[in-house]
Amino acid sequence: MINKIQVELEQLQEQIEKRKEHLSILIHQRQELDQASQRLIVCEKVKQGYSREGQNDVNLHMDELLRKLNSLEESIHDRNRQLNGANEQRREFDRIMSKLSEWIKTIEQQIKDPLTNDLQQTTNSLKEKNKSIQALLESTKDRTNEFDDLTRIYMIVSSTLNDTDRITLDEKYTLLQEKYNRLLDNLTQRLTLLDEANRERDEFDKQNEYVQNLYQQLQNDFTKLKQQSSFIDDNRHYDLLSIEKHLEQFKQFLKRLDETNNNLKELTRLQRLLTSKGHRIDFRTGGELNANLKNLQEQIHNEIERMEKALQTENDFYHLEKELESYLQISSEHLKSAQY
């Protein structure tokens, strides 16, 4: 509030100085008019004192004085018009200066928070922040037309000022230009950093989704195969090839599980990298996924163990069956030999 009052006082002081200068000019002009009037009165008196023979010379002299007086009055009017025009241009200059200054202050207020605050947001919020900064940058670039108008008026006003006032005006104009250029640079840099941050978030989100899909597909396939092989146990007789096929499929699940674990490790590495850069990432799903993968790994091993037992049982039964067939064959042959 104090700063605002101080600015208003400075502007009021500046207007007072201008009015004093304008008043001095008018006083000087009035003095010139008074002097011319006095000369005219003197000439009238001189004219009355001349003889009739010199009347023509006096008339000529008086006409010349009147012409000069009219010329002086016209010059004064021209100067007044120039001053009025300059004052109007100065008011327009001050108006644009004030408008641009307030606008720059408003934009600076919107981007005062550091980038680290943006990185604490969710991915969607970060994308919205990116769009917001993009819009502010475009709006800032669009202000170049107003700066062109300000520069044009500045050149006009500057040419009508004395050295002291011209220096003051130059300082104000240069300061505003520097603020504008600095704002443009800050917005451009901020947008570049946000673009990079959004690319990093997108990469993480895509990798996270990919790993989640790998796990979910593996879980679904495992559940389906487990249901298909649920009829197999180590106490019943089943087709040997069918058991071997299921066993091999469960072993393939282990390879897919290793691949999923490797992708999870890469995802964890990426999450730590982004965290070190200031990103705030809720990675509780990573811990849940790691626990789910360990649980799935245990289930796969259980199924492999069950298939191996069933396979062993089937092999034992197969060999026993072969031994029995061989025994029966030998017994049959012995029986036939005994009959002969």
Cα–Cα dist 11/328, whole Å: 123
Give the mean pLDDT of 34-50: 58
Residue 212 · residue 179 · CB < 8 Å: no
pLDDT tens profile 247-257: 899 999 999 99
**What's the DSSP call for residue 161?**
S
- Entry field: residues in the chain: 340
70 or 19, higher pLDDT: 70
Cα separation of 221 and 92, whole Å? 75
The more confident residue out of 232 and 93 is 93
What is the pTM (predicted TM-score) of this model? 0.62
pLDDT class for 259, splitting at 50, 70, 90?
A: very high
Span 165-172, average pLDDT? 87
Of residues 189 and 117, more confidently modeled: 189
> What pLDDT, on a 0 to 100 scale, did the predictor assign at position 134?
93
Q: Over 90: is that where the pLDDT of 299 sits?
A: yes
What's residue 201's pLDDT? 92
Per-residue pLDDT of 86-129, as tens digits, reads 677 778 888 888 888 899 999 888 888 888 888 888 888 889 99
Between 44 and 74, the higher pLDDT residue: 74
Domain boundaries, the chain: 1-84, 203-339
Does the domain at 203-339 match CATH 1.10.40? Answer given as no
Give residues with Cβ within 8 angstroms of 253, minimum separation 6: 218, 221, 222, 225, 300
Per DSSP, the residues of 148-212 read: HHHHHHHHHHHTTS-HHHHHHHHHHHHHHHHHHHHHHHHHHHHHHHHHHHHHHHHHHHHHHHHHH
Q: In terms of pLDDT, which residue wins out, 77 or 194?
A: 194
Q: What mean pLDDT, rounded, does the chain reach?
A: 79
CB 97 within 8 A of CB 172: yes
Q: For the ranges 36-45, 154-163, 270-279, which has the lowest average pLDDT?
A: 36-45
- At residue 331 the predicted structure's pLDDT band, cuts being 50, 70 and 90, is low
pLDDT in tens, 53-79: 455 555 666 667 667 666 766 766 666
Give the CA radius of gyration of the chain: 50
pLDDT of residue 53: 46
pLDDT at position 318 is 63
Q: Nearest CA to 268 among 187, 178, 204, 218?
A: 204
Q: Could you identify the residue written with the tokens 């890469």? A: 266
Query: pLDDT at position 114, please?
Result: 86
More confident residue, 108 or 328: 108
pLDDT value for 295: 94
- Range with the poorest average pLDDT among 138-152, 162-176, 233-247, 262-276: 233-247
For 196, phi then psi, to 5°, come to -65, -45
Residue 190 pLDDT greater than 80, yes or no: yes
Is residue 136 predicted with pLDDT exceeding 60?
yes
- Report the alpha-carbon distance of residue 238 to residue 90 in Å, rounded: 102
Q: Is pLDDT at 130 greater than 80 in this prediction?
A: yes
The 10 Å CB-count burial string (b at 16+, else e) for 133-170 is beebbeebeebeeebeebeebbeebeeebeeebeeebe
Taking residues 304-317, what's their average pLDDT? 76
pLDDT band, very low/low/confident/very high, at 44 (cuts 50, 70, 90): low
